[in-house]
Amino acid sequence: MTGNWILDLVIIVLKAAFLLTILLTMAPVLIVLERKISAFIQDRPGPNRADIFGFRLAGFVYVLADAIKLFTKENFTPSAANRFYYYLAPAISVMVALSTGAVVPFADSLTFGEHVVPMQVLPINAGLLWFFAIASLGVYGIVFAGWASNSKYSLLGSIRSSAQLISYEIPMGLSVVGLLMAFQTLELNKIVQAQGGLLNVLNLFHAGVQIPLANGAHLALGIPNWGIFIQPVAFVIFLVASYAETNRTPFDLAESESELVAGFHTEYSAMKFGMFFFAEYMAMVVASSIMATLFFGGWQVPFLDTAALQALSLPLVRLGLGSGAGVVALAAFGLYRFYLANRGRFGDRRDLEGLVLAVVAGGLAGLLALACLGSLLLTEMPVWGAVAFAAFAQFNAFFIKMFLLATTFVWVRWTVPRFRYDQLMDLGWKSLLPLALANIFVTGLAILLGNHFGG
């Protein structure tokens, strides 16, 4: 904190706005990704027709069309509904999805002289407990929606979902106990910092070597000390429980169309339904962010800690600008080939989309190349530039991990069939729960042996 409460408040608001932008941006991206991946798996084209002034933008126009449709549809409310809880339910789902991500660190703390700015909206020392506490409140939105709608299908969906969430929150919470035993903290940023070194097996030996750099920084070559290598069983349990917590296939029995029409949100229309829809995708983003933080090093860039990123900032900037220019130039070439292959396909302005995007991509590649050449004039990166570059690189590392984990939600949905309800309960209570307890016991035993033999 800076000591100036006005400045501290401004920083918190800016970080909250940044987090909100990420969540609201990732939701439509995942919607398009869901359509594209499902089309690829089912061997069909997917969204490729809707356009604005000839630009289809790979299906992103469909998201805008969905938003317009939800805003303009009739705002229907059942006459027998309990209006207070009926309107409160989608608001609870959205607020829970937004609040759980407040404790996720998306970069290392920024240090400017004596001022330290944590890259979390809520840098509390019990961030993991905050996540579980707030996430557990999501069941209230589902229960209120089903009960307040005064519909048997909605009620059955909410009852199913509440039983499912309770069943899978227990193994999810127990799965991270072994991780907490290894890292000895509940603070998410400290958990990420603990994953910055090299893998330490039973406290006996380190898997890798460290190469010293300037200013006390070092390059770590080897297996990173990520949670997935320390607690692979915990990751599998947490991953499966996350699918169940977000009501995603194969755990979407609360929305089973063949039995319950649409489940707990059957009686919702327009933006009330849209809020449930967006809450689901934002919950996917938050769950992916938590998994990236706990098991994949969070904002840690593999092999480079914060000091190393700052020490190597200038050559890495040159490398990034140069490689970025090359990648964008290849994209421009691919778009131009796409334009040549599809020229005259539609007979209207849509035929020019590939050419226009190729010109834009080519211009961007040129700008990146010029920036790379301009960086050669620098002999040393300024301090603020090194700090900013390290934060930028760490955020990108975090975002890539989160994005890849979010795609697994889509991949699993279109690959694994829906469970029966008895199978759903058996998996949670008879498989994941005992496995989580066994993982805690094995972890404790491994730590005890490591402390005894490793000193």
What does the pLDDT look like over 371-426, one tens digit per residue? 999 888 888 888 888 888 888 999 999 999 999 999 999 888 888 888 888 888 88
Residues of the domain holding 234: 67-311+382-454
| Per-residue confidence (pLDDT) for residue 395, from 0 to 100 | 92
Domain count within the chain? 1
Instruction: Specify the residue for token string 């084209």.
Output: 45
Tell me: pLDDT of 19 over 90: no
Q: Residue 217's pLDDT band (boundaries 50, 70, 90)?
A: low
Q: Residue 218's pLDDT band (boundaries 50, 70, 90)?
A: low
Is residue 10 in a domain?
A: no
Is residue 325 in a domain?
A: no
CB atoms within 10 A of CB 337: 12
Q: Which of 33-42, 133-142, 250-259, 359-368 is modeled with the greatest confidence?
A: 359-368
Q: Which residues pair with 210 in a beta bridge?
A: 220
Is residue 339 in a domain?
A: no
| Per-residue confidence (pLDDT) for residue 370, from 0 to 100 | 93
Mean pLDDT of all residues in 114-124: 82
262 closest CA partner among 141, 106, 151, 419:
151
Tell me: pLDDT of 204 over 60: no
What confidence tens digit (pLDDT) does each residue in 56-74 have? 887 888 888 888 888 888 7
Is residue 115 in a domain?
A: yes
176-206: string of b/e by CB count within 10 Å (b at 16+)? bbbbbebbebbbbbebbbbbbbbbbeeeeeb
CB atoms within 10 A of CB 326: 14
CA distances from 163 to 215, 226, 424 (A): 55, 32, 10
Is residue 321 in a domain?
A: no
The contacts of residue 323 (CB under 8 Å, 6+ apart) are: none
Mean pLDDT of all residues in 331-338: 91
**Percent over 70 (pLDDT), the chain:** 93
Is residue 226 in a domain?
A: yes
319 closest CA partner among 304, 332, 333:
304
Q: Which of 8-12, 37-41, 327-331 is modeled with the greatest confidence?
A: 327-331
Mean pLDDT of the chain: 85
Mean pLDDT of all residues in 281-303: 90
State both tokens at 129: 């407990």
Q: Which residues pair with 112 in a beta bridge?
A: 115
Q: Which of 1-10, 53-62, 178-187 is modeled with the greatest confidence?
A: 178-187
| Per-residue confidence (pLDDT) for residue 113, from 0 to 100 | 66
Burial of 287 (0-12, 13-18, 19+ CB in 10 A): buried
Phi and psi of 428, rounded to 5°? -70, -50
What confidence tens digit (pLDDT) does each residue in 82-117 have? 889 999 999 998 888 888 888 899 888 887 667 778
Is residue 433 in a domain?
A: yes
Is residue 387 in a domain?
A: yes
Instruction: Specify the residue for token string 């909410």.
Output: 158
**CA 402, 170, 181, 236 torsion-angle sign:** negative
**Percent over 90 (pLDDT), the chain:** 20
| Per-residue confidence (pLDDT) for residue 434, from 0 to 100 | 93
292 closest CA partner among 396, 411, 441:
396
Mean pLDDT of all residues in 41-63: 83
Mean pLDDT of all residues in 25-34: 86
The residue with greater pLDDT, 257 or 188, is 188
